[in-house]
Amino acid sequence: MDAQVLISFAQVLLVVIFGLVCLNLYLVFRLKEIDPFARWNPSSINGAMFMGFWIVGVIAIIWTTRVWWDEMVMVHSAVSEQGQRIDGMFWRTMAVSILVVLITNTLLFYYAWKYRSKPGRKAYYYPHNNKLELLWTVVPAIVLTLLIFDGVSAWHDIMGKHPEDSVEIEINGKQFEWTFRYPGADNEFGETHVKYINDGTTNSLGFNLKDRKGQDDLVTTELHLPVGRPVKFTIKSRDVLHSATLAHFRMKMDAVPGMATHFWITPTKTTAEMRAETGKEDFNYELSCQQICGSAHYNMRRIVVVETWEEYQNWLSQQTPFYTQYQQINGGNTADAAAAEPVNVALSPQP
Ligand SMILES: [Cu+2]
């Protein structure tokens, strides 16, 4: 029997013993007609328990935060310019929230104990105070307005028009994987449409194979980003809701079937720099899905590589365009495939 089972067994045994002791005491008191709680003030117990709950709770929060600190993504500063701004807002909101929770809850639990009912003490009747009402309405309103203005202005900057020199990348979600599309040398994406999707011929993104703009498009399963350059993402889904999440960059955007969503960020730290900084040789940024999208939702993870502009260009030049791969697999029969009737979208889950 392993130790875990023994410990569980001992715990059950303790509960049974405790129950038996209570039952015994109860029977003895009943037989002797003693009321053991006659001088007992339940309010004192309740009051003490309120105070105890708050003190133990605060200690537990501090302790768990210390234990998990390094594991929490938000405590490592964001690796995108926009993310650093979001971090600023996050920590300002956090500071305000912690302060308010500490003050109000300390008072709440302390007063529950201090003003517990005692024999001979009469409750003080204090139903209303206009000044107080005004104070706790106006002050939170001002603080929240400031926080929200900050957020709205950041939202407009991040969701607004991307800079002219942005690199454009398309993120495609489906059950259960992400694929990335780069526009290739002409810097323009070819047409895609759901009616061209054919998993049988590997045309999973639905390329219109007759569109010349798409012939140099690259389709990859690793997301490479250049450092220091704005990257504009177009995010799509062909089946259900997914959510493209780059936690280190503080980016999260739903992939919605039937429409394209957008987001742009400027990465500030390469994977190599992050590895050196964290001392973790195998560190990788990752893209995940944060929308429960089906049975293999947890599988929707991709490695993200941030590298210098030269490394990025080098990687791009090593990729084979989708069109070339397609021809190799389908024997050059692309015209037929493109002209063929649209094929039903296969939504087969691959757990
Ligand atoms: Cu998903």
Cα(298) to centroid of ligand 1, in Å? 8
Measuring CA to CA, which residue among 199, 196, 202 is closest to residue 338? 196
Place of tokens 């999208």: 293
Cα(252) to centroid of ligand 1, in Å? 12
Cα(169) to centroid of ligand 1, in Å? 18
DSSP codes joined into one string, 207-225: B-TT-GGGTT-EEESSEEE
Cα(243) to centroid of ligand 1, in Å? 6
Q: What share of the chain is helix, strand, coil (3-state, %, to 5)?
A: 50, 20, 30
**Which range scores top for mean pLDDT: 38-42, 58-62, 212-216?**
58-62
Indicate the pLDDT class of residue 332, thresholds 50, 70 and 90: low
Cα(1) to centroid of ligand 1, in Å? 42
Helices (H) and strands (E) in the chain, counts: 8, 10
pLDDT for residue 239: 87
Cα(180) to centroid of ligand 1, in Å? 14
Residue partners of 156: CB distance under 8 A and separation at least 6 = none
**Kind of pairing between the strands at 223-226 and 301-307:** parallel
Cα(171) to centroid of ligand 1, in Å? 12
**Greatest distance between any 2 Cα atoms in the chain:** 99
Cα(233) to centroid of ligand 1, in Å? 17
Task: Note whether 229 and 55 are within 8 A (CB).
Answer: no
Domains and CATH numbers, the chain: 167-339 (2.60.40.420)
State pLDDT tens for residues 250-266. 999 999 998 999 989 99
Cα(177) to centroid of ligand 1, in Å? 7
Cα(295) to centroid of ligand 1, in Å? 10
Indicate the pLDDT class of residue 1, thresholds 50, 70 and 90: low
Cα(93) to centroid of ligand 1, in Å? 29
Both tokens of 290, joined, read: 């944060």
**This prediction's pTM:** 0.72
Query: ω into residue 283 within 30 of 0, thus cis?
Result: no
Cα(239) to centroid of ligand 1, in Å? 10
> What protein residues have CB closer than 5 angstroms to ion ligand 1?
242, 289, 293, 300
State pLDDT tens for residues 73-82. 777 788 999 9
